[in-house]
Amino acid sequence: MRVLVVGGTGTLGRQIVRQAIDQGHTVVCLVRSLRKAAFLKEWGATIVGGNICKPETLPPALENVDAVIDASTARATDSLTIRQVDWEGKLNLIRAVQKAGIKKFVFFSILRAAEYPKVPLMDIKNCTEKFLAQTDLDYTILQLAGFMQGLIGQYAIPILDNQSVWQTGENTPIAYMNTQDVAKFAVRAVELDSVARKTYPVVGSRAWGATEIIQLCERMSGNNARISQVPMAVLRFMRSFTRFFQWTYNASDRLAFSEVLASGKALTADMAPVYEQFGLDPKETTTLESYLQEYFGRIIKKLKELDYEVNPTQTDGKKKKNNFFF
């Protein structure tokens, strides 16, 4: 098939591009920056410049396309807001897909988004799901919980570098998944007619709380975490404060996710029927333990080669090397 991947330079998008190419599909990537997407071209994808917030740029990327996988989203550093990208931009894309006569469309939502109407991105995802249901597209909606890749910067690196790990005091468990495994479901979604006009959870094998993840990182790194608490009241204040400035809208919208953490409701789902429907083997899915073990094993080996002390201490009046940044 000829598959258009939107958001191909992102954490998830690049894995979808890689998986689709490995499965023998012809891949086209709609990107805002041709320079940043050079690596996708090296992999074998065709790069087309465009922006979902500029509907006039979309038709060239949709020519002769059989299916669209949309992995785009607003970044915290974007000049455009979440509403402009994840709502208005998505509507532009969906309408352009319909006009081009393309049927297969894969959309990534968030698990239980309908339960959090006051969290901007969750509300937008829920509204987009409803909008897709009103179209004639053979859409497949994959509802995610969280990516394992995000845990590296949040927990692994600070613990290795003896820096603070920030916690809210809330411990809502989340079933994180490796983006490589999410990509398998996305590519299978465009290959299977049986998943058309259906919604599926795509989450990890079990839900992990923040405390459990920290303990796992401590055990694998040999370091003790320096934990700093941020009260929920502070996050709520920061969200309200950042709403006053246009350039901090996206940061404010992301701070709203603190409400999800405060709910105490685990973000997880039964994946057994989903694996069966998609014809994938759950035993081949990365567990959080194996993901972090591979990361710490690789990093610690590299540090040893550089003669760096993983657990900095002071002996014989000499301070060993520290503050290694990754």
Please give the residue that has the higher pLDDT: either 245 or 267. 267
Q: How confident is the model at residue 326 (pLDDT cuts 50, 70, 90)?
A: very low
Establish how many alpha carbons lie within 13 A of residue 188's alpha carbon, considering only the half-sphere containing its beta carbon.
19
Tens digits of residue pLDDT in 13-23: 999 999 999 99
Q: What percent of the chain has pLDDT over 70?
A: 82
Radius of gyration of the chain (CA): 21
* Structure confidence at residue 76 (pLDDT): 64
* Structure confidence at residue 321 (pLDDT): 39
Model confidence at 181: pLDDT above 80:
yes
Which residues lie across from 122 on neighbouring strands?
Answer: none
**How far apart are alpha carbons 102 and 82 in whole angstroms?**
26
Average pLDDT, the chain: 86
Model confidence at 167: pLDDT above 80:
no
Q: How confident is the model at residue 170 (pLDDT cuts 50, 70, 90)?
A: low
> To the nearest 10°, the Cα dihedral for 82, 78, 227, 112?
20
Task: Provide the whole-model pTM.
Answer: 0.86
Q: How confident is the model at residue 6 (pLDDT cuts 50, 70, 90)?
A: very high
Please give the residue that has the higher pLDDT: either 104 or 315. 104
Long-range Cβ contact pairs of 31-38 (< 8 A, separation 24 or more): 33/9, 36/9, 37/8, 37/9
Tens digits of residue pLDDT in 104-122: 999 999 999 999 998 888 9
- Over residues 279-305, mean pLDDT: 91
Model confidence at 239: pLDDT above 60:
no
User: Per residue in 1-37, is it b (16+ CB within 10 Å) or e — as a string?
Assistant: eebbbbbbbbebbbbbbbbbbebebbbbbbbbeeeeb
Q: How confident is the model at residue 308 (pLDDT cuts 50, 70, 90)?
A: low
Q: Which of 124-133, 196-205, 221-230 has the lowest mean pLDDT?
A: 221-230
* Structure confidence at residue 299 (pLDDT): 87
* Structure confidence at residue 264 (pLDDT): 78
- Over residues 85-95, mean pLDDT: 97
